[in-house]
Copies of this chain bind each other. A is one copy, B any other.
């Protein structure tokens, strides 16, 4: 790929020259020879002045092609839009696939949104308005209306004719959807089937007549699951009456999968890893809510320990092992949590496995607790020549781990039940919570054996 990189560097240098020299035609031919992704990378590297120059060099349609790819990652799209002449921006949005235009428009305030919609043709504006009202993270919010549809009564060659006409506008032409006169989805044909069949065959004879679809109100993660399971390149979106409303393509689903993975990861860490800011104040402001909340939960643990202060002052050796027990239980609880969250996400019918999941985690806790408990019993027994102390620490560890596993599996289930995303129950939360239960277990057991330590 080194040669390709060099070639790319050269192209970028050329573009810079052409822009400085205001050589519009040279710039256009070089720029348009790039893949839209490369165009977008180049665009992102420009200064505001340079960007404003190229708005005059490129048509709204050409800018739209690049913005299709840009919008996925870029938070500052709003700024770019405001730099443009409003009519140019509105034209560009009209030229984009509806789903991508809607993504951008959703980032704007209502006044700007209305301004751009008013500058579009009524058809374009209506199409966009229709998509704007779907709730975030539903199939409706990520679908596009640029698909190819034919009637079941048409022949393959008629269908191919329609396809060729729509090929320039449609987001995918690799599936053709078959609808009846009421616009209900009745079948699907892949382009692969279309080109290998005889021209005179009827669409109804060739099509798959039990098309897999998703409902417009479905969660986008369920759509992702369908596309992933069936290895689809796109899936049709229907309403309750089975009317075909749009399609969702695999590239948008990859974004959904990425988003979901980042959000699960963020949940586990108790921080939004999407936060790409290197400004420490911004970063700190996003992390402090969890830290401060957990600080107060941790104060609960401190209060609990302070009740046993007399115990500690009589046998200071007990203080030595607080962090070992809370730490180990916290680690076990975090493991449990992660497994439980993933199992909840993977299973369709969550109800069935709740009890089994918790039992399995508690039993796992018993086994890991026994083994770490016995290990620490032996280590302390030998190290401190005190097997009773070892027994106390080992037993406390066993029960602390069991309780941590119970919390680690039960809490995401409860969150799921009351309608929250179980992935929000973070590792830090579980380990801070298990600090509390671990300390309680530890000092209660220790108190029982107090006579042996003094």
Chain A residues engaging chain B, CB cutoff 8 angstroms:
1, 4, 7, 33, 35, 37, 69, 160, 163-164, 167-168, 173-174, 191-192, 195-196, 210, 212, 214-215, 227-231, 233, 250-251, 253-254, 257-258, 261-262, 264-266, 268-271, 273, 275-276, 278-281, 283-284, 287-288, 290-292, 294-295, 298-299, 301-302, 305-306, 309-310, 312-313, 316-324, 326-328, 330-332, 334-335, 337-339, 341-343, 346, 356-357, 360, 363-364, 366-368, 371-372, 375-376, 379, 427-428, 431-432, 435, 439
Contact = CB atoms under 8 A, between A and B. Distances in A.
B291 A328 contact: yes
A327 B273 contact: no
B167 A338 contact: no
Nearest to A330: B431
Contacts of A317: 306, 309
Greatest chain B CB density within 10 A among A160, A268, A338, A371 is at A338
Contacts of A212: 35
A231 B69 contact: yes
Contact of A298 (B167, B215, B323, B357): B323
A295 B372 contact: yes
Count of identical protomers in the assembly: 2
8 contacts: A195-B195, A228-B254, A254-B254, A257-B258, A257-B261, A270-B334, A273-B339, A287-B364
A269 B316 contact: no
Given A265-B342, A338-B265, A327 B309 contact: no
A367 B261 contact: no
A436 B144 CA distance: 54
B283 A339 contact: yes
A82 to B, nearest CB: 26
Contacts of A368: 284, 287-288, 291
Contact of A432 (B229, B231, B327): B327
B292 A195 contact: no
A335 B271 contact: yes
B265 A376 contact: no
A335 B270 contact: yes
A250 B276 contact: no
A435 B281 CA distance: 25
Given A160-B195, A192-B167, A331-B432, A37 B323 contact: no
A196 B167 contact: yes
Contacts of A292: 371-372, 375
A231 B309 CA distance: 62
Given A257-B257, A339-B273, A301 B280 contact: no
A173 B160 contact: no
A316 B322 CA distance: 13
A163 B195 contact: yes
Contacts of A363: 280
Contacts of A328: 291, 294-295, 298
Contacts of A337: 269
A265 B264 contact: yes
Given A299-B324, A335-B290, A343-B276, A364 B284 contact: yes
B431 A327 contact: yes
A120 B326 CA distance: 58
A332 B428 CA distance: 9
A428 B269 contact: no
Contacts of A366: 280
A303 to B, nearest CB: 8
B288 A334 contact: no
A302 B330 contact: no
A247 to B, nearest CB: 14
B319 A312 contact: yes
B302 A338 contact: no
A372 B37 contact: no
Greatest chain B CB density within 10 A among A290, A332, A357 is at A332
